[in-house]
Amino acid sequence: MNEQPLVVSGVSKYFGGGFSARRLLPWKGRDGAGRREPVQVLRDVSFDVRRREIYGVIGANGSGKSTLIRILSTLLLPDAGQVRAFGLDVVQDAGAVRALINRVSADPSFFRNMSALENLLFFGRVYGLSPGDIRRKLPDILARLGFEFEKAREPMSHLSRGQQQKIAVARSFLTAPVLMLLDEPTTGLDPRSKRDVQAFIRRVQLEHDATIVLTTHDMAEAEELCDRIAFIAGGRIVAEGTPLALRQRVADGRPVEGIDMEDVFMELTGRSIQEDEVPAEVMASG
Amino acid sequence: MASTGQRIALPGRAAVWLGWAFVERQTNLWKRYWAWELVWLVYGVVNTLAITFIAKQVDQAGLAGGQSVSSLVLFLLLGTLVWAYLSAVLDDVSLVVTWERWEGTIEHTLMAPVPRWVHLMGMAVFGVLHAVVRTLLIFAIALPFFSVELGQANWLAAALVIAVGSVSVAGLGILAGVLPLIYPERGTQMSFMLQALILLVSGVYYSVDVLPAWLRIFSVVSPATYILNGIRGAIIDGKGPADLAGNLLTLALFGAVLVPGGIAVFGMAERWAKKTGQLKRQG
């Protein structure tokens, strides 16, 4: 496949809005209006990702990162714009796109009472892998993540948060996706687990034909892993470039080595990553 | 890593293989939640006994009239067993989305490259197998409590009714499964209410003739009515497949409409859920 792994063009997404009969109830309605105003979560987002690139999307909680990843994952439909993965439209050709992608989210999301192995067998099989293939590939993937294979026989609920996240990473890479969507994959991990996961991601990018989109609010992680970075704030991409190019943009005569990515984010977005939070009710809808 | 462009088309055997992954997964969950399975088994047995004992009470009170108490016992016994079976299938299929929300896996399961019809059929196959096992266990435990005449039963015809009827019930389950998809907070409750309505109108514990005329209309459009009629005809009256052709044909028609219709409606609901952002985990 020669097409570009990912081309995002003018994507916008709204949540909420429209008519709500419940708001007409006497104890709910305000100003007698049944309509709610929609909240725009993504605003005309455009970027493209090159083959074998790790492309970082950095923004605060509620900035639209996860909404963007859900659209790329075929789990949300954009209200405007288009996303093409390897030339396939993620809305029109969703089935074919799904066979090419996989995703790691901040929440590991497993069947808690099934063992890690049973979970991996299921999620591998729904990607068309045979149980034999899965059992053959798993020991190596788990070893690279610093996860003892024997522990995979234990129920997920017995594993620590870091161990669960390693299984989530293993689940995604097991299916050999050519486009990997990593949505805050190291959030909440202890430093060692974080290092294991980051090292695994780097190794996969070096050794295999995989393109990775990584969302994070961890500047150091983005800088260490990403070839290019986009800053997202208020649902809009406000800056994009290599870590060095972004630094140079704000250097203003200063040596770039002395500028950390947090400062770059603040200068380019006008606020710190902690300040750029969106109210919880908006996040809940997106 | 594999090169691109593989694993996209999934015809024939591949579809069966993918669908079977859901049967295996549900079996694993069933094993892990064995205590709940035990609860439902005990509940099913107790429900069967409690309702069937009503026939004995009717006999003791001299209310059976000319009707043989044995056939009343069998009528109620079959009603409870068939309902245990149908409700198990409906539960398993209609909870297709609810399970994923409970476990938090909905996004990962729905973004897998499995055609939705294969996913739903896998859940339906598990539902039928699960319901068969549970109902046979209830039957085996409850049967010694009663003296019923089964010599006339046509088991082949009964199996045929269950096999054909299960398709239509799976279709109903898929339709009921749409509710949790589009109403994440109350959809599961709504699908249980739908199940209760089917229980009321399908003649599970009584003939639909006793229903008020306006309720009887619903019994005509419930596949459960024809399954119960067919099973009772086969086991109480010893009717064969030819005698039950009307029931079987009606059930086949229900299946032919409800399964593709259910899958189509599920697909539309999934699209709507993707539009509005309802495919997130809950609970």
How does DSSP classify residue A108? -
Q: Report the pLDDT value the prediction gives residue B2, as an integer from 0 to 100.
A: 39
pLDDT of residue A285: 45
CA distance B45 to chain A (A): 27
pLDDT at B222: 96
Q: What is the pLDDT of residues A67-106, one digit of tens each?
A: 999 999 999 999 999 999 999 999 999 999 999 999 998 8
Do A118 and B28 lie within an 8 Å CB cutoff? yes
Give the A-side interface with B, CB within 8 Å: 1, 15, 67, 70, 73-77, 86, 95-96, 98-101, 103, 105, 107, 109-114, 118, 121-123, 125-128, 155, 171, 176-178, 204, 208-210, 285-286
pLDDT at residue A275, as a whole number: 61
A110 or B69: which leads in pLDDT: A110
Instruction: Give me the pLDDT at residue A3, please.
Output: 85
User: pLDDT digit string (tens) for A44-66?
Assistant: 999 999 999 999 999 988 889 99
Supply the pLDDT for residue B14.
85
User: How far, in Å, CA of B259 to CA of B263, rounded?
Assistant: 6
Q: Please, what sign has the CA dihedral across residues B165, B166, B170, B172?
A: positive
> B135 phi and psi, to 5 degrees?
-70, -40
> What is the least distance, in Å, from the CA of A269 to any CA of chain B?
27
Chain B residues whose CB is inside 8 A of the A96 CB are: 8, 113
Mean pLDDT (whole number) for A189-215 = 87
DSSP letter, residue B64? -
Sort out which chain A residues have CB atoms less than 8 A from B14's CB and list them.
128
Name the DSSP class of A80: E
More confident residue, A31 or B160: B160
Residue A259: the pLDDT is 86
| Residue pair A85/A101 in contact by the 8 Å Cβ criterion | yes
Residue B178, min C-alpha distance to chain A (Å) = 16
Q: Which two tokens stand for residue A118?
A: 């049973």
Question: Quick one: what percent of chain A has pLDDT higher than 70?
Answer: 87
At residue A285, what is the residue type? S
Rounded to the nearest integer, the mean pLDDT of chain A is 87
Determine the residue of chain A that is closest to B276 in CA distance. A15
Contact assignment for A126 to B112 by CB distance below 8 Å: yes
- Residue A155 within a domain: no
SS3 (DSSP) at A241 = strand
- Which DSSP helix (H) or strand (E) runs through A14? strand A6-15
Of A77, A111, A209, the CB nearest to B105: A111
Check if the beta carbon of residue B258 is closer than 8 Å to that of residue B171: yes
Q: Residue B246's pLDDT is what?
A: 96
Structure tokens at B158: 């009964």
Mean pLDDT of A138-161: 92
Q: Is residue A146 part of a domain?
A: no
Q: Is residue A142 part of a domain?
A: no
For A210, which residue in chain B has the nearest alpha carbon? B1
pLDDT for the residue numbered A143: 92
The verdict on a CB contact (< 8 Å) between A128 and B113 is yes
Residue of B nearest to A174 (CA): B1
pLDDT of residue A92: 95
CA distance B145 to chain A (A): 37
User: Residues B169-214: pLDDT tens digits?
Assistant: 999 999 999 999 998 888 889 999 999 999 999 999 999 999 999 9
CB contact under 8 A, B281 and A110: no
More confident position, B36 or A269? B36
Per-residue confidence (pLDDT) for residue A252, from 0 to 100: 82
Partner-chain contact B103 A111, CB within 8 Å: yes
Mean pLDDT score, B248-260: 97
- Residues of chain B in Cβ contact (below 8 Å) with chain A: 1-8, 10, 14, 17-18, 21-22, 24-25, 28-29, 32-33, 103-105, 107-115, 271, 274-277, 279, 281
Top pLDDT among A201 and A30 is at A201
Q: What local confidence, expressed as pLDDT, does residue A129 receive?
A: 93
Provide, rounded to the nearest whole percent, the portion of chain A with pLDDT above 90. Answer: 58
Residue bearing the bigger pLDDT, A105 or B65: A105
Say if the Cβ atoms of A96 and B115 lie within 8 Å: no
Parent domain of A263? 6-100+177-285
- Nearest by CB to residue A107, choosing from B10, B14, B104, is B104
Return the domain boundaries, chain B.
Answer: 12-276
| Residue B65 confidence (pLDDT) above 80 | no
Compute the distance between CA of residue B190 and CA of residue B180 in angstroms, rounded to an integer.
Answer: 8
Average pLDDT, stretch A135-161? Answer: 92
CATH number at residue A38: 3.40.50.300
The pLDDT value recorded for residue B169 is 95
Helix or strand run (H / E) with residue A2: none
Beta strands A54-58; A228-233: pairing state: parallel
Q: Is pLDDT at B270 greater than 60 in this prediction?
A: yes
Number of domains in chain A: 1
pLDDT of residue B229: 96
How many other C-beta atoms are found inside a 10 Å radius of the C-beta of residue A54? Answer: 23
